[in-house]
Chain A
């Protein structure tokens, strides 16, 4: 396992997200990718997804619920088959227009040089508040 190569793959993935290059994003994922945001029942896009179609649905549902004005990776670490990225995001809830912000941690798991797992941690309380407060 090449940690540096995995780090480059993750950096490229974030760059592809910013560039809205979804083909680039999906080319770095395994077919059975496990996509796990922090699950909040009231937030549709936080459901666990498995497979590339699941991730595509996640993107659609996420874009329907929230709009990120910034998603900033701040630090990146790697070891064996995992890459950890620590960062910060700001955004607004589409339905209320309320703003939210949070530190976040993303965990990327690798198999055969491709990303087979994503797990995210962020301040679920903050984001839910923005989505539900009037």
Chain B
């Protein structure tokens, strides 16, 4: 699979809540960096597969996603940049929110080693 196909499949797995397959894409030393305030349970820097598992658990339990769509991919060498948007509802507050997002993936030997995950943090924080 190409790096782009790996990341495309990862988003399909994310949509299906298939955490084992998502983690399979992560390298042992993956770093997921999500700028944002502490009120967003998945903001911060998450390291290793254990950190990635906690990150995805927090993403999945803090909101339900009515839409999570990757609309564009830019690929160069070991980088895959995914651009998309999401509609979501907080499981805590019941509020609905929407955000564009961009994720910059770095891959090595077919595994993600670094992810920069940028959302509209103001919108997400207000919703969650």
Contacts and interface: CB of A to CB of B under 8 A. Distances in A.
Contact of A79 (B33, B37, B74, B104): B74
A134 interface: no
A77 B81 contact: yes
A79 to B, nearest CB: 4
B74 A124 contact: no
A20 interface: no
Contacts of A78: 74, 76
Interface in A98-132: 102-105, 107, 119, 121-126, 128
Given A77-B76, A79-B74, A86-B116, A128 B122 contact: yes
B79 A124 contact: no
Contact of B125 (A77, A119, A125): A125
A59 interface: no
A40 B122 contact: yes
A124 B123 contact: yes
B76 A121 contact: no
Interface residues of B, number: 26
Nearest to A82: B74
Given A78-B76, A84-B74, A119-B100, A125 B81 contact: no
A38 interface: yes
Interface in B105-128: 116, 118-125
Interface string A83-107: 0101000000000000000111101
Interface of A: 3, 38-40, 77-80, 82, 84, 86, 102-105, 107, 119, 121-126, 128
Of all A-B residue pairs in the complex, the 10 with the closest CB atoms, nearest first, are: A124-B122, A125-B121, A121-B118, A77-B76, A79-B74, A123-B35, A125-B122, A84-B81, A82-B74, A121-B102
